[in-house]
Every structure is written in C-alpha cells, then in structure tokens.
Chains A and B, each alone.
Chain A
Amino acid sequence: MNLALIVALPLAGWLLNALGAGRLSRRAAGLIGVGSVGLAFAASLAAVQRPEVASGWRVVLWEWIAAGDFRLSFGLLLDRLSAVMVLVVTGVGFLIHVYSAGYMGGDPAYSRYFAYLNLFIASMLVLVLGDTLLALFVGWELVGLCSYLLIGFWFDRPSAAAAGRKAFVVNRIGDAAFLLGMIFLALSAGTLEFSRLAEAAGTLAPAALTVITLLLFAGATGKSAQLPLYTWLPDAMEGPTPVSALIHAATMVTAGVYMIARLHPLFTEAALTPTVVAVVGAATALFAATIALVQWDLKRVLAYSTISQLGYMFLAMGVLAMPAGMFHLTTHAFFKALLFLAAGSVMHAMGGVIDMRRLGGLARPLRWTTWGFLIGALALAGVPPLAGFFSKDLILERSFEAARGGPLLAVWLLGLLTAFVTAVYITRAAVLTFGSGESHGHPHEAPPLMRWPIAVLAVLSVAGGALGAYAAGRPLLVSLEGFFELEAHEPAAAPALWLRLITPAAGLLGIAVGYALYRGRRAPRLGWLGTVFEQHWGLAPLYDRVIVGGAKRIGQDLADVIELRVIDGAVNGLAAAVAAAGGAARRLQTGYVRTYAAVLLAGTVLLLGYWLLR
C-alpha cells in the first residue's frame, strides 16, 4: 500500500491542520504542512524506483460506484507517465511548501493555509495517480476546489473572493463538458479504467471518439486556461504567490495536458481532435503572450505567460508529440515556479507591491531573487542551454515535422512567433522590475526559507534540460516514448540545423527587442496594437458584457418576470379567480325571501324542464 501512502500523507497533513486550526502552534502547523509533503516526495521517489512501475503499478482500494452495468473501483496507478507527474507535484510542491513557510510567516491563518495546500497536493496526487478517468476527475475537481480556496485565501478582499469564484465557475464549464465526455466514453467503451481504454479505443465509432475527445479537451481548456476558458487564470493571481507558483503554474493547470497524455490512445485515434488541440494550443500561446506584453502587474505577466506556455504543451499534444509536451510540462514547472517564487520574493520585499510601474532597481538589494528571476526568464525565453530551450525547441521541431508542409505549418509559425513575443515580454518584465531606476523604500532580501527553494529551482531550470537533451541521453523522453509506445526518435532522424537554430534565435531576438524597447523605463504602449492586446483581442468586453452580463440579466428577468408574474402569477391568478367566484356566490345571497323563493321556483322549472324535455 505504499502507493496509497503517497496520497495519504498530505491528506493526513490536511486533516491535522484543518481540525487543529486555531489550536496548533504556528510551528507545528508549518511542520505538519511541509513535512507531510516532504515525506510524500520521499515516498514518491521510493515508489518510482519500483520495477512494477514500468508496466503500471495498480492498487485497487475499494469498489466505489456500482449501478447496473456501471461498475467502478477506486484505485491508484503509478506508471511511467504518472511517475513524472508525481515527482513534479511532490517535488516542486515540497519546495513551494518550504518557501510558503517563510512567505506566509506573518499570516494569522497559517494553519488554514497549509491545510489547503496539503489538500491540494493530495488532490493533485489523486488526479495524477487515479487509475480510472473518474478518479482523475475526482482529483480534477478537487484541485479546482483547492484553487478556489487558495485564490480566495484572503477572503476579506472582495477581489480575491470574486477571483476564486470566477476560477471555480469557469472551470466548472469545462468540467461539465469533461463530465459529459467521460459519461459518453463510459457508455461507449464500457469502462473508464485506463488500462482497458487502450483496447477499447479501437472499438469506438470514429464519430463518437471525436465527440468524446473534444468534450474532454473542452474540460482541459478550462482547467489549463486555454482559449476560450482562460479568463480565470489572470484573476487567480489574487491568491498568495506561492499558490500561484504551485497551482497556477507548475501543477494544476497542467492537468489538461496530463489528461490528454493519459488518454493518448483515444486522442491519437480520434480524427479531428488532435488538430483542434494543436490549433487551440498554438492560438492560445500567441494570444496570451501578446496580452502579457501589456500587463503592468508582474504576476499577471507570469499568468499570461503560463497560459501561453500551456498553449505550447497543447500544441505538442495536438501534433501527437506527447513526450515533448510532457517534457515541456516538467521544465515549465521548474522555471515558472522559479519565476513566481522570485516574484513572490519581490512582493515580500516591497510589502505587497507588484505593479511594475512602482518597481525597479531591485537588482541590487535583492540579489538572490534577481538571479533566480533571470534564470527563469532566460529559461522561459528558450535560451540555450537552459531547460526551456530543450523542451520548447523540441515541440516546435515536432510540430514542423508533423505539419509535413501542410496547413498545420501555421501552427508551427504561431509557435515560433510566440517564442519571440515570449522573450520580449519576459525581458520587459525583468527590465522593469529589476533593471533601471531607483528602488522605492527599503527592500530587503527574503529569509533563507524562501531563498533556498529559489535556488533549487534555479538549478533545476538550468539543468532540467538534461532530462531531454540528446547529450544527456534524454532519460525522460526515452521513458515516455516507451510509455506512449512510439518508436524512439533516434538522432539519425535529426532535424535540419536551421530548424534547431531558429527557435533560440527567435528567443534571442526577442530579448534584444525587449531590452531595446524597455530599457530606461520607457514604456511604449505599442499603439493601437497595445489596445487590442489590452482588450484581449476583443474577448474581454465580449465576456464581461455580453456573456456574463447577459446571463445575469436573463437570470434576473426569469426570476422577476417569468417566475413571479407568469408561473406564480398563473397560480395566484387561479386562486384570485376562485376567491372572486366566492364573492360572487356570496352576492347571490341577497337576504330577501322573495329572491330565494324565485331561485327555488327557477330551480324547479329548470329541473322539471330538463327532465321532461330532454
């Protein structure tokens, strides 16, 4: 039951912290919170070593739902795919827990924070380790819950509460589609067990398969903040920064990618879906990157960046370069977490200020932070030999190959363009935050508890590329290619050199442009283009006014007019009519004997008349 232990540890941490809220000392709470995840990481490390993992180590815990033909147990599955995720989740998770212990040091709701965070880890592990799609969905929704709770952690701020709610609701939209897809799948394939889906995939009708996968992908667009359901993620930055790092960059938002990887037998078989995934991914990548160009909130820059990078991952999944997608997922977890932690460090130093117009010149006082941020930024920009370079390069390479000169080449072009924009906006952020200008106030460097995780992540961001670098033997990719049952990409089929160079070139060009543009705190607005970006290419007003406003108005109209006037009005109208009839019946009773006699005689005439004449 070693496997269940991985989930049980953070779950226990959650229970202790939740029930002990208000009674546990700050120290105990932190120790439980951090310790449980640390132990889970250790357990994960031990577990992935097990030989069973290669063929899938499955532990069935109990029969969960059984109704009619539908029978499903609840169990965990550790294979080469989930191994990657488990390590990322518990590993990065652990680092961020450590960081949090410092970052949240002054918060009164310390226990609650760790309770939520532990619950998140547990939920994420359920998502990752679940042996059925339904179990994955359990984790899927639970991480959404944790996200809601943590975004709205400072619930006394109306903006935070609203952001949490928005995140949950937007996710729910995707989840509803996911749920339908899952149900469709369960009914057509007869199972939701991953181990049996592979064989079932071939038996499904092509149309059904397409619909199922599209519905599931719709779910992924919610969770992973892709077009059109991306809006919640920028708002999610209302949460504490470590949360943004952990949930809204490194782990939860990648669940969509993981889900597609998990269901690769279906997605690879489906006719239309991969193309849709690739296009949506590529479009989102560029779309979000352009918006990141015009943000002033450092965390929002990173948020849009995350959306954009997730787009890359979907692009990879769409072109069926699944190992590449997972690789980027991993490296992104490192460098984006790093960027967020660094940003958190800035906030910590500046007393919560995150608007880049009020930042600047922090390179000197915040030495660790600056280094961390720069490494992360370079990795993000795809500068070799940092981790981001390898994964992003691989994705673009694969997408170019997959296009085979066809129309899908547009996807590759979008990706390439995004690489350039990415470099521009991250350079802008770095320059505005750390570069020129005077620092305001008296910023001080973060305590060691926050510094060390930054350092570790910086190292991973630098060296993480080794997981997929040819030079290092590509251990991750080999493992995953085995898992996806793809023939290994031998160096023999090495892509053309120009293809390998064009990505870093785009990145470097972007850095140069960015530096040129934003050096010296000039902040060009990019003209009309900037306005377009700020308005999310026109989507923002559509969402706010037309969809949300419209729905609210319809709701109000239904409640005030249809409900009260029409439906209830009919009921009350009937009652009023009966009451009026009652009044009329009373008026018949005039009080005059002669009227009564006349009524009596009339009744007699009618009765006899009817009887005799009928």
Chain B
Amino acid sequence: MPAAADLRMLGPEMLVAGTALLVLVWATFLPPQRQHLLRWISAAALAAALAVVLRLGTGAASAFSGMYARDGLTVVLQSAALLGALLALALAGAYVERSHLDAGEFYALLLAAALGAMVMAGSRDLIMVFLGLETLSIPLYVLAAFARTDLRSQEAGMKYFLLGAFSTTFFLYGIALIYGVTGSTALARLAGSPGGPMLRAGVGLLLVGLAFKAALVPFHAWSPDVYEGAPLPVTAYMSVIAKIGAFAALLRIFPGTLTALAGEWRGILAVLSILTMVLGNLAALRQTSLKRLLAYSSIAHAGFILIGVAAGSGRGAWAVAFYLLGYTFMTLGAFAVALRVTRGGEEADAIADLTGLASRSPALAAAMAVFMVSLAGLPPTVGFVGKLYVFTAALEAGQNALAIVGVLASVVSAYYYLRVAYTMFTGEPAAGIAFAGDRWLGGALLAAAVGVLVLGVFPSPLTVFVQQVAQALR
C-alpha cells in the first residue's frame, strides 16, 4: 500500500483531479446563470495546486514504488502546466459562457488535461507516462470537438482523435519493445539497459508518440488543422499544455534516462528540431488565419524548444523549461488578444481582422505587439532569453548546426510575427469588429504581457527556478 508520505506528495494532483470531479458534478446542480462559480472553483484549485507544488518543492526522487517523483523536473514543469491551465481558464470563461458550451464539462476536461501534463512531468515509469499522456490527450480530443455542432470543430476533433490514437499505438509498441529488452517499464531500468536494436526501436517509437504530442515535424501534420478548427480557447490551451506534457516526458526519457545512448539520439533529435523549425516557420509565412498562424508558430517553437532536449545536457533541460514557461506567457497572450477581438460575435480569425486595431484599442495592440516581438525572439522579452538559453545549450553541446539554423529560423519568423504587428498599426479598422471578453480575460492578458516583459528584463529569478530541472537529471 502506498505510504502516507507518498499520498501527501500527490497533493497537487489530487487537488486538480478532485476539483475536476467536483466541477463535473456540481455543474449539474447549478443554474445556468451561476455557472461562473465553476470557474472560480477551478481557478482556485489550480492556484492552490500551484502553491502546493511550490510549497512541496523537491525532495522525493522516488515514490509509489519508483513510479513517480517530485523532483526539480516535476516541480518546474508542473508549475508550467498549472500556470498554463490557469491562464487558459481565464481566457476560456467568457467564451464558454458566450458560446453556451457546457461549462462544467469544459472545466473538468481542462483540469483533467492539466492533470495529465502534471502526471507526465512526475512519471518515472513508462506506464505512468502512457497514462499521463492519455489523461492529457483524451480531454483534448473532446475539447477540440467541443463545439459539437460546428463542422470545423468536429473535424478538428476527428483528425486529432484518429491521428492521436494512431500515434499512441506506436508509443505503446515502443513501451512493449523496451519492456521486452529490460523486462520492466521503469525508467530506472531503462537507464541501465545495454542498448541494442530492439531498444533503439522501442525508444524510437516512444519518440514518435511524444513527437506527435509536441507536434514535431514530420509528426506535426494534425496540429494546424486541429488548431484552426478547435474553439479558440481550446486551441490556446492545447498549444501550451500538450507541449508542456510532451516535453516533460521527453526530458524525463532522453536526457533524464537515456544518458548512455546520448550519442545516438542527440543527432536524431537535432534533425527533428531542424525540420520542425524550418517547416514550421516556412509554412507560417503565408498564412491568413491567425489561429493557423499561431499553430505553425507553435510547431516552430516546438522545434526551438527541442534544441534544448537535443543538447542532451542539464543546461539544455533547464533551457527547455525556461522556454516553455516563456512560451506559455507569450502564446497565451497572443491567443488572449485573438479572443478579445470578435467579428459579428464570432471568432475573428483572419489576421486582416486586426487591421487598425491600434486606433481602436492601443493597449490591446501594444500587448499584441509585445507578444509578437517575444514570439519572434527579439529582446527585451522572454522569448529572446529563452532562445538565448537553448542556443547556448546547443553550442555548449557542440550542436552548432542547430544553433545556426535556429537563429536563421528566428529571423524568418520575425516576418510573420511582425506582419501581425504591422497590420494592427496601419489602416482603418474593419467593420463589424467588436471587443469581447471579461475581466478574467483582461487580467490574463495583462499578466501575460507583464510576464513577457518582466521575465525578459529580469529573467534571473525564473532562471534560478528552472535550473532545478538540471539537478533532477543529474
């Protein structure tokens, strides 16, 4: 039976899971006009979980028979997941209520996905990783299709689901092969394994599954379509939470476990990273839909983040964590702006809908400009610092090509990000554009903008915080 200490260690996870159930049940008893209470509860739970995560800190490298850990990696990436979920929740509320989506289920699924990402961060066993992955993915499939009468949302849900299930089988096959070699699903056993073709194949198949979640080229194809079709707040949430979960697992498995094989997988990850950066940025160049642009943007950023994993070092790992946190702020910020702007009551999806935004709402346009600049990796924003860290890691590891492709890809990305900014500051606003959203959205927007700037100018505390990740890998 699990020890009491083990259970205490699960505080944040239980808090989130319990709240998901509570929200689900309570929603059926709440009259429609009081559904916003659910939001408060969910937010409170996420915030509390975040507090508990920080409070608990590290100190349990192994629990539940070595299945789970609360080490630096867990703490940092769970914080990222909770932060992302919290911000996404703030973004979603007004949209959910406005679009008459089922609030209880929506929040419950959102919390469940967060739980999945958290579990992926803490798992030290491939079965746990698998279950975490599914806990993360299945809610996202459902959320993508959440606007169930909307053709595009349905399509998004179906594409995501079918391809997700397809990729999951590869992931599982990978676990099976590893199990066949090591006789166990524990990462600890994997670390000590001698290698061999079956192990390589197993790890390769694991990588396929995780790369799919993280939307790395060539396993990315689902993401632009799903991002575009899913309801906007879902897209926002998906773009961060899936990445956090996937990269948590990648860190855990590759630099965290397979150190002996580093010479082999670093090159492969580097190739994936280069493909992802190049294709993601190129395909984003000529997009007209903001959601689709951000989809490709998120693909491209996955490539940048992967640089840190491919470095295979402690520095790379904490750079990944830093980048993910920064990415959470800037991407959710950009989505928050997109949620703010509506066209005839619907999502204003076209980039052209932002034309002249600055004259309608200078603050909103300024915030969007900040996010775009940060996504482009220009200082003084968190996006720059994140890139600085991953490039440093790559160069330290001798992955020069990665760093060079990375910086050049950043330049290409500047084009499409700044095109958005340019659009906002020129021309006359289009007709039918209105602003939506509530204080939560405004608050999230402000938090994201402040986060992007403050972390860009004073990245030091966060840097120290994420460096725990490196300690966990050692």
Contacts and interface: CB of A to CB of B under 8 A. Distances in A.
B222 A596 contact: yes
Nearest to B208: A604
Nearest to B160: A593
B200 A604 contact: no
Nearest to A586: B283
B208 A600 contact: yes
Contacts of A588: 221, 279, 283
A243 B200 CA distance: 93
B268 A589 contact: no
Nearest to B173: A604
A584 B278 CA distance: 12
A582 interface: yes
Given A582-B283, A600-B166, A608 B159 contact: no
A456 B133 CA distance: 109
B204 A589 contact: no
Contacts of A572: none
B: interface residue count bin: 20 to 34
Nearest to B203: A611
A605 to B, nearest CB: 10
B56 to A, nearest CB: 37
Contacts of B167: 600
Contact of A610 (B166, B211, B268): B268
B219 interface: yes
A608 B201 contact: yes
Contacts of B218: 599-600, 602-603, 606
A579 interface: yes
Contacts of B201: 608, 611-612
A411 B58 CA distance: 101
B283 A597 contact: no
B284 interface: yes
A582 B413 CA distance: 11
A582 B283 CA distance: 5
B170 interface: yes
Given A596-B163, A607-B268, A578 B282 contact: yes
Interface string A585-601: 11011010101110110
Interface in A552-604: 578-579, 581-586, 588-589, 591, 593, 595-597, 599-600, 602-604
Contacts of A604: 170, 204-205, 208
Interface string B137-166: 000000000000000000000110011001
Nearest to A589: B224
Interface residues of A, number: 26
B283 A589 contact: yes
Contacts of A586: 283, 286-287
B285 A578 contact: yes
B264 interface: yes
Chain A at the B interface: SS class: helix
B138 to A, nearest CB: 18
Interface string B191-222: 00000010011001101100110000111011
Nearest to B281: A582
B134 interface: no
Contacts of B285: 578-579, 582, 585
B200 A612 contact: yes
A604 B211 CA distance: 10
B6 interface: no
Nearest to B166: A597
A602 B225 CA distance: 19
A596 B286 contact: no
A588 B217 CA distance: 12
A594 to B, nearest CB: 9
Given A579-B285, A585-B279, A612-B197, A603 B219 contact: yes
B163 A597 contact: yes
A373 to B, nearest CB: 70
A597 B220 CA distance: 10
A595 B224 CA distance: 14
A585 B212 contact: no
Contacts of B200: 608, 611-612
B221 A596 contact: yes
B286 A583 contact: yes
A497 B275 CA distance: 99
B412 interface: yes
B124 to A, nearest CB: 24
Interface string B432-450: 0000000000000000000
A600 B221 contact: yes
Nearest to A590: B221
Contacts of B268: 607, 610-611
Contact of A611 (B264, B279, B286): B264
A584 B197 CA distance: 36
A591 B151 CA distance: 14
Contacts of B163: 593, 596-597, 600
B224 A582 contact: no
A33 B158 CA distance: 93
Nearest to B225: A591
A256 B115 CA distance: 91
Contact of A582 (B166, B207, B217, B286): B286
Nearest to B272: A607
Interface in A217-276: none
Contacts of A596: 159, 163, 221-222
Contacts of B222: 596
B310 to A, nearest CB: 14
Give the most central of A588, A606, A607: most B CB within 10 Å.
A607
Nearest to A583: B286
A612 B195 CA distance: 11
Give the most central of B201, B211, B221, B412: most A CB within 10 Å.
B221
Nearest to B286: A582
Nearest to A603: B218
B286 A589 contact: no
A599 B221 contact: yes
B282 A611 contact: no
Contacts of A608: 200-201, 204-205
Contact of B219 (A578, A581, A600, A611): A600
A582 B284 contact: yes
B412 A589 contact: no
Contacts of A585: 279, 282-283, 285
B16 to A, nearest CB: 31
B27 to A, nearest CB: 32
A589 B221 contact: yes
A581 B408 CA distance: 15
A376 B207 CA distance: 103
A595 B218 CA distance: 12
A586 B285 CA distance: 9
A607 B208 contact: yes
A603 B217 CA distance: 8
B221 A595 contact: yes
Interface in A357-415: none
Nearest to B275: A603
Contacts of B207: 607
A91 B466 CA distance: 85
A606 B211 CA distance: 14
A596 B200 CA distance: 24
A588 B212 CA distance: 17
A584 B218 CA distance: 15
A604 B173 CA distance: 12
25 contacts: A578-B285, A578-B412, A579-B285, A584-B282, A585-B282, A585-B285, A586-B283, A586-B286, A588-B279, A589-B283, A593-B163, A599-B219, A600-B166, A600-B212, A600-B219, A604-B170, A604-B204, A607-B204, A607-B207, A607-B208, A608-B201, A611-B264, A611-B268, A612-B200, A612-B201
Given A583-B286, A586-B287, 18 more contacts: A578-B282, A579-B286, A584-B282, A585-B282, A586-B283, A589-B224, A593-B158, A593-B159, A597-B163, A597-B166, A599-B221, A600-B166, A600-B212, A600-B218, A603-B211, A603-B217, A607-B204, A608-B200
Which 8 A-B pairs rank lowest in CB-CB distance, beginning with the nearest?
A: A582-B285, A596-B221, A603-B218, A585-B283, A585-B282, A582-B282, A608-B204, A582-B286
